[in-house]
Structure 1
Amino acid sequence: MSEPPKLLVNKPKKSQLKKVEQPCSTPSSASTATAWRLLQFRRRYKFLWPVLLAVNFSVGAYLFMRTKKKDVEIDEEKKDVSTSSIACQPREPILEDQQRELFKWLLEEKRKMKPIDAFEKKCIDEEKAILKQFIRSQSIPTLR
């Protein structure tokens, strides 16, 4: 029978490694050789793992901050455009007849909607009641 693998404290010599790497027909010696190669790989490149983790973390942080910065710039541009359009182009008020036509169109669209549950049906009915009040009223309130 074969001996179980021994844990080595020091690095083995090349002559000892050649003995382990020789192909054998038994599966246990193949698994020990594979385990030994893995252990060698870990020992040889143990300085590399912290470096890889640090680089990975820094690249991730850079990408995260870069996308965050673009989002902030886009929001600022939208605010600038919206404030400039309000200051330069005040909108003209919509005539009452046009508002009534719009309310009628909204009421027709609300009637076409099919509610999923009782709560949604209640909300749609309330909105339709408000639209009907606006359509029937003699003067429509303006928003300023």
Structure 2
Amino acid sequence: MASSSSSVNSKPQAAPSAAKSTFFRRILPALLVANVAVGVYVLLRTSKDEPNQKDERAAEEIPSAPVAIANVTVPQQTIPVRTAVPIKVLPPIPEQEQRELFKWILEEKRKIKPQNASEKKKIDEEKSLLKELIRAKSTPNL
């Protein structure tokens, strides 16, 4: 049995023909790109049309013939009054924690790679402000 399985695996595999290699190298990627493009188009088109179709269906359901209304009293609706949500007053952040936070922000600003001169200037200004806040004797209340 071992000899028969080795003879099956020892067959040389035929190289793909020129037509197959052309198909796989040039036509197949183009078909895949076209397929994805059509899929995205259909997906976006159907997602945009759904609200419009609902409006059209609702308009079709409304009767177009005038309806006679005879002494119909409509109860007066009261408008619900919204109550203000109470604002939670948090305890002030200790000064030492504020300094640690400013130091952490400064470290993160140092890691940023600016893309142009204006962005670099803005980051440098922010870093200088953070350095001033860290060195100050008292920090502003946040």
Between 1 and 2, higher relative CO (CA 8 Å, sep ≥ 6) is seen in: 2
* Higher Rg of the two aligned structures: 1
TM-score category of the 2 structures, normalised to the smaller one: 0.3 to 0.5
Give the structure with the larger helix fraction. Answer: 1
TM-score normalised by L of structure 1 = 0.41
TM-score normalised by L of structure 2 = 0.42
